[in-house]
Amino acid sequence: MDNQKEFKPYVPADKVTPELTVTSIIMGILLAVIFGAANAYLGLRVGMTVSASIPAAVIAMGVIRVLMRKNSILESNVVQTIGSAGESLAAGAIFTLPALFLWAAEGKTDKPGIIEITLIALIGGLLGVFFMVPLRNALIVKEHGILPYPEGSACAEVLLAGEKGGANASTVFAGMGFAALFKFIIDGLKLVAGEVSLKFKGFAGEIGTQIYPAVMSVGYICGARISSYMFAGGVLSWMVIIPLIVMFGADIILYPGSAPISEMFAEGGASAIWSSYIRYIGAGALAAGGIISLIKSLPLIVTTFSGAMKSMASSGAASDKRTEKDLSLKIVILAIVILTLLVWLVPAIPVSPIGAVIVVIFGFFFAAVSSRMVGLVGSSNNPVSGMAIATLLIATLVLKITGQTGIAGMTSAIAIGSIICIVSAIAGDTSQDLKTGFLLGSTPKKQQIGEIVGVVASALAIGGTLYLLDKAWGFGSAELGAPQATLMKLIVEGVMDGNLPWGLVAIGVVIAVVVEIIGIPVLPFAIGIYLPVQLNACIMVGGLIRLALDRMKKEKEEKEKIVNDGVLFCSGMIAGEGLVGILLALLAVFGVGEMIDLSAKLNLSSAFMNIGSIVLFAIIILTVLKFSVWKKRK
């Protein structure tokens, strides 16, 4: 039976209301750039990004309904459709493209040009949208009631709540404002330390926490379970593996380190051991985790792809109903052909004809898989990194076999992996947005145009964002660890040159397998091993706050409002800190950063700054409680 005939959306098919307007396009572009930049900064710091759909929807409602006195839920939906594209494109880009900057820093190649980054992001994003168009009827319409699309359904609920006067954009804006202030105090004025650490006499382990609002917000949004897995990975690496390396390594020079371990520890502490050895163990665990998640998903992947193909074949002719109109299939196929040719022919993109074929085949396959999987398990559990790892392994092998070796082959492999990663991320986001539109009664064609607008705006901004962040701090640094991109770089180097510290990588792989055997999700645990324990601890604090709110003895409806307000406030904090992070990067590039640094001018002691850090962190936690538990509700 046709589910769309059974299902009646909020806005009927025969009712026409404003959707793709000048207001929605301008607001959507602004939010796409803002959330794209904020998520790029966040992902490079903590290895994770968060969905921008709900905060974008709430902001859209606040502006359109409250400030502009307009009553158009479909217009608000187009805003979040365009806005959320920025976050997804940024997620796909930062997982891979910084590898090119890392090779440039090693002197192996030149930095990628902004045009190259923009074109890779643009082509990947557009392919992700176009691949999803023919899949919409198969996955969104025909499987309505089977595929829940958690984020898409939640976003529809938020928009419907706003229509009834329930949602409040002020919570998101408050989060942005407070986080911007806190970030400027910590990393701009430097009145307090960004992290507090506890070291032990006679023991090489180290524990502590960062105090950044965005990092804590990631823990709140992800919840206590995921946060605890990341924290456990951090404790293993910083309180077990590092002390063992120092204890047994002593005066040994162990590759890839170039000095005795005891000397490295004396000069740089646990951080020096982490950067030289733990990151390779973490990379091994991450690679194994990505492959394990992909293998576990193989039955679902096969049934997904075959089911999507069958549904497409039987979808029939286009409908005249407003709620069933997609972009013309002829235009979609023509666009895919042109984009594939561009991958091959544009000199700025280092991809051969074989690489272009890999992009199309893997792109469409993983777009279908990604769309189906986010429908079942949500965007957070979509194994995009696993898909990227599989693509990179196969692409690098094919390029090596066909004679494209060395740094040219490696940059080509990363370019292919980047496009596929962005395709997967955008396809997942597009399907969630189309689900929201299906529930509300949006016109699919207008949403698909909105996705294209969001992709173009984000692609134009991502190159400058990456250049700015690299210029300010450098990828792979303490400020911007870029865990996924470093992993992708190691995988390509390992396949192409075979010069990795394979012993350390193998240890990470074995840890991942053991963790999987005992039933712990591998990827968050592996990210925890890879990242500094202070960052994981800050995420854990956010997870504990969420746990406390989830277990409050209140009515179910009231508890849901409290938790959801916390999610909105934390989403705002992530955006606010990300924007100030970009601002501080600008100041650092232009040499203004040192002028506003008050720690040296006031000659603040480390003890004073550490106490100030603890006090400020307590204030940050209190603000979350203020806008969730203690918020006044009408």
Q: Which residues of 268-294 are buried (b: 16+ CB within 10 A; e: fewer)?
A: ebbbbbbbbbbbbbbbbbbbbbbbbbb
Q: Which long-range contacts (CB under 8 A, 24 or more apart) does 500-505 make?
A: 500/280, 501/255, 501/256, 501/277, 501/280, 504/277, 504/280, 504/281, 504/284, 505/280, 505/281, 505/283, 505/284, 505/287
Q: Which two tokens stand for residue 154?
A: 């939640």
Q: Is the residue at 512 inside a domain?
A: no
Q: Which two tokens stand for residue 293?
A: 């998640």
Q: What is the pLDDT of residue 81?
A: 95
- 253-257, 312-316, 383-387, 465-469 — most confident range: 465-469
**Which residue in 195, 199, 198, 175 sits closest to 187, CA to CA?**
195
Answer yes or no: is pLDDT of 556 > 50: yes
Q: Which residues of 145-178 are buried (b: 16+ CB within 10 A; e: fewer)?
A: eebbbbbbbbbbbbbebbbeeebbbebbbbbbeb
> Which residues on neighbouring strands pair with residue 208, listed in sequence order?
197
Sign of CA dihedral 83, 88, 89, 94: positive
pLDDT, tens digit, 9 for 90 and up, residues 184-226? 999 999 999 999 999 988 899 999 999 999 989 989 988 899 8
Answer yes or no: is pLDDT of 513 > 70: yes
Between helix 483-496 and helix 502-517 the angle, nearest 10°, is 120
Of the two residues 301 and 152, the one the predictor is more confident about is 152
Cβ neighbours, 10 Å, residue 467: 18
Q: What is the pLDDT of residue 625?
A: 96
CB contact set of 611 (below 8 Å; sequence gap of 6+): none
Q: From the DSSP assignment, how many helices (H) and strands (E) are in the chain?
A: 27, 2
Q: What is the mean pLDDT of residues 236-247?
A: 95
How far is the C-alpha of 404 from the C-alpha of 120, rounded, in Å? 20
Q: Is the residue at 206 inside a domain?
A: no
Answer yes or no: are the C-beta atoms of 31 and 52 closer than 8 Å: yes
Answer yes or no: are the C-beta atoms of 430 and 96 closer than 8 Å: no
How far is the C-alpha of 71 from the C-alpha of 17, rounded, in Å? 10
Q: What is the pLDDT of residue 241?
A: 95
Answer yes or no: are the C-beta atoms of 628 and 549 closer than 8 Å: yes
Q: What is the pLDDT of residue 542?
A: 95
Q: Is the residue at 339 inside a domain?
A: yes
Q: Is the residue at 337 inside a domain?
A: yes
How far is the C-alpha of 487 from the C-alpha of 559, rounded, in Å? 40
Answer yes or no: is pLDDT of 102 > 70: yes
Answer yes or no: are the C-beta atoms of 104 and 489 closer than 8 Å: no
> Which amino acid, 424?
S
Q: What is the pLDDT of residue 497?
A: 84
Q: Which residues of 503-514 are buried (b: 16+ CB within 10 A; e: fewer)?
A: ebbebbbebbee
**Which residue in 84, 115, 101 sits closest to 460, CA to CA?**
115
pLDDT, tens digit, 9 for 90 and up, residues 153-193? 888 888 887 776 555 678 888 998 999 999 999 999 999 99
Q: What is the pLDDT of residue 526?
A: 87
Three-state DSSP at 195 gives strand
Q: Is the residue at 279 inside a domain?
A: no
How far is the C-alpha of 6 from the C-alpha of 28, rounded, in Å? 32
Confidence of residue 1 (pLDDT cuts 50, 70, 90): very low
Q: What is the pLDDT of residue 370?
A: 81
The string of DSSP letters for 77-146 reads: HHHHHHHHHHHHHHHHHHTTTHHHHHHHHTTSSPPPPHHHHHHHHHHHHHHHHHHHTTTHIIIIITTTTT
pLDDT, tens digit, 9 for 90 and up, residues 414-446? 999 999 999 999 999 999 999 999 999 999 999
Answer yes or no: is pLDDT of 503 > 50: yes
Q: Is the residue at 443 inside a domain?
A: yes
Q: Is the residue at 122 inside a domain?
A: yes
pLDDT, tens digit, 9 for 90 and up, residues 5-15? 568 899 998 89
pLDDT, tens digit, 9 for 90 and up, residues 365-388? 888 778 877 877 666 556 677 678
Answer yes or no: is pLDDT of 496 > 70: yes
**Which residue in 154, 424, 470, 176 sits closest to 304, CA to CA?**
424
> Which residues on neighbouring strands pair with residue 196, listed in sequence order?
209
User: How far lies 493's CA from each of 103, 138, 410, 474, 503, in Å?
Assistant: 10, 39, 7, 20, 15
CB contact set of 416 (below 8 Å; sequence gap of 6+): 351, 355, 358, 359, 391, 392, 395
The string of DSSP letters for 252-293 reads: ---TT-SS-HHHHHHHHHHHHHIIIIIHHHHHHHHHHHHHHH
Q: What is the pLDDT of residue 505?
A: 86
Answer yes or no: is pLDDT of 533 > 60: yes
How far is the C-alpha of 146 from the C-alpha of 352, rounded, in Å? 40
Q: What is the mean pLDDT of residues 542-569?
A: 91
CB contact set of 14 (below 8 Å; sequence gap of 6+): 322
Q: Which residues of 403-427 are buried (b: 16+ CB within 10 A; e: fewer)?
A: ebeeeebbbbbbbbbbbbbbbbbbb
Q: What is the pLDDT of residue 99?
A: 94
**Which residue in 487, 478, 459, 570 sits closest to 55, CA to CA?**
570
Q: Which two tokens stand for residue 204?
A: 């090489």
Mean pLDDT of the chain, nearest integer: 87
The lowest-confidence range among 66-75, 116-125, 565-574 is 66-75
Q: What is the pLDDT of residue 300?
A: 65
pLDDT, tens digit, 9 for 90 and up, residues 302-359? 776 666 566 556 555 556 788 989 898 889 999 999 999 999 999 889 888 899 999 9
Helix then strand then coil, % of the chain, to nearest 5: 75, 0, 25
What count of Cα atoms within 13 Å lies in the side-chain half-sphere of residue 532?
26
Confidence of residue 4 (pLDDT cuts 50, 70, 90): very low
pLDDT, tens digit, 9 for 90 and up, residues 71-99? 789 999 999 999 999 989 998 899 899 99
Greatest CA separation found in the chain? 78
Q: Report the domain count for the chain.
A: 1
* pLDDT > 70 in the chain, percent: 93
The string of DSSP letters for 30-86 reads: HHHHHHHHHHHHHHHHHS-----HHHHHHHHHIIIIIIS----HHHHHHHHHHHHHH
**Which residue in 537, 531, 541, 540 sits closest to 479, CA to CA?**
531
Confidence of residue 3 (pLDDT cuts 50, 70, 90): very low
Cα angle for residues 139, 140, 144 (degrees, 5° grid):
100
Q: What is the mean pLDDT of residues 39-64?
A: 82
Consecutive H or E run containing 196: strand 195-200
* pLDDT > 90 in the chain, percent: 43
pLDDT, tens digit, 9 for 90 and up, residues 119-161? 999 999 999 999 998 888 878 887 787 778 878 888 888 888 7
Q: Which domain, by its residues, includes 331?
A: 3-169+292-483
How far is the C-alpha of 247 from the C-alpha of 265, rounded, in Å? 11
Would you call the peptide bond into 256 cis, given omega within 30 degrees of 0 as the criterion? Answer: yes
Q: What is the pLDDT of residue 455?
A: 97
Q: Is the residue at 524 inside a domain?
A: no
